[in-house]
Amino acid sequence: MSQKIAITALASVSPLGSEPELIWNNYLHTTACFSKQFLDHQETIVGALSAEDELLLEELRQSDLKYKSLDKSVLLAMAASREAIAQAGWKKGSSFGINIGSSRGATDLFEKHYKEYLENGKAQTLASPTTTLGNISSWVAHDLQTSGPEISHSITCSTALHSLLNGVAWLRSGMAEQFLVGGSEAPLTDFTIGQMRALKIYSQLEDEYPNRALDLDKTRNTMILGEGASVCCLELGEKENALAYVEGIGYATEILEHNISISAEAVCFQKSMTMALKDIDLASVDAIVMHAPGTIKGDSTEFRAIEKIFGSNLPLLTSNKWKIGHTFGSSGMLSIELAIMMMQHNKFIKVPFAKPQNTGKSIRKVLVNAVGFGGNAVSVLLTI
């Protein structure tokens, strides 16, 4: 890339917690952050927020009368965004851009409004404005009182990394000096879980690790849904407070043979990784945080794509979905968070049941992958 892009802050709210120290400590332990909720007519394993973080969101909801009608996905994004700009030293009310996307948007609120409409034959006044996808970035912009551009979008599970791509483009074009980017998702609802079960990809395992992301020998799909939001602050050039730098970006979309699948060797990932790694010595890439949702085809096709690019000299491979589940549109930024934390602590976080890897190397350069329905892959190369 011709101009350095610095990540000067990153904040999240997820099953891992909302404080950096707690999040890292949770990564250091091999226990998965799953619980059970009664969803889609049965007890369902999910990656849910802690009681402490639920209280944090409830306090935020009660802090302003206008916030009481907002969806959880919006509150998640607002909480993470407040923390991120505080870390970066950005002033509330200044002019910075916002691009926070979501795969599903205000899913829970939409389901509740529609159920009420079916029962009463009448829609509530705020049903439409509180369930639009643009609701997330616009409310974050309101909460932070910024006068910069605000964008929301859905590019399924690669949404958060597409937000990062947009932020990079705005900064490099000179149209903005600072951009807040990320994703938010609150998919733990009856209909959303029902949709995943209809695809026959939701985990039915009842063991220690019900999501088997990066278990390339599994014979059953094991995806689990999680909720959360994660955002980061992007700035142009070298910064004293930089957590990491975006060294390369890549993206690709492939022609699909099926509504939800990508090709057997994930051509879209091969293209996105090749673009992100342009002019990079492949041996310098220390680790890859894979998308790896825990499905048979999703994990294996991405692995084959990595083999196509790196040959037999594979970087260390990891994922966080075995621990927190798939958070759809926010998952890519939560993977960015894992990558940055591994570089900060110079420690690789392995998947406990994956095949052994030589984890003694330094972690200085990490590639992050994301892809979603539609074969829209994104790869981001980070360095410190």
Report the C-alpha gap between 250 and 271 in whole angstroms. Answer: 7
Percent above pLDDT 70 for the chain: 98
Task: Give per-residue burial for 29-40: e unless 16+ CB within 10 Å, then b.
Answer: eeebbbeeeebb
Percent above pLDDT 90 for the chain: 92
State the residue for tokens 């083999």: 307
The domains located in the chain, with CATH, are: 5-236 (3.40.47.10), 247-383 (3.40.47.10)
What is the Cβ-side half-sphere exposure of residue 192, based on CA atoms within 13 angstroms? 25
pLDDT at 331: 98
What single-letter DSSP state applies at residue 17?
B
* pLDDT band at residue 293 under the 50/70/90 scheme: very high
**Centroid of chain to Cα 334:** 4
* pLDDT band at residue 2 under the 50/70/90 scheme: low
Q: What is the pLDDT of residues 97-149, one digit of tens each?
A: 999 999 999 999 999 999 999 999 999 999 999 999 889 999 999 999 999 99
What single-letter DSSP state applies at residue 226?
B
Which of 358 and 260 is assigned the larger pLDDT?
A: 358
* pLDDT band at residue 373 under the 50/70/90 scheme: confident
pLDDT at 258: 59
Give ∠ CA 151-50-207 in degrees, rounded to 5: 110
* pLDDT band at residue 374 under the 50/70/90 scheme: confident
Report the C-alpha gap between 272 and 302 in whole angstroms. Answer: 12
Mean pLDDT of 67-83: 98
pLDDT above 60: residue 1: no
State the residue for tokens 């639920």: 54
Closest CA to 10 of 98, 80, 89: 80
Token representation of residue 315: 């970087």
Q: What is the pLDDT of residues 140-197, one digit of tens each?
A: 999 999 999 999 999 999 999 999 999 999 999 999 999 999 999 999 999 999 999 9
State the residue for tokens 């079960």: 197
243: CB partners within 8 A, 6+ apart: 7, 8, 9, 10, 340, 344, 384
State the residue for tokens 């794509």: 305
pLDDT above 90: residue 3: no
pLDDT at 375: 83
pLDDT above 80: residue 382: yes
pLDDT at 260: 54
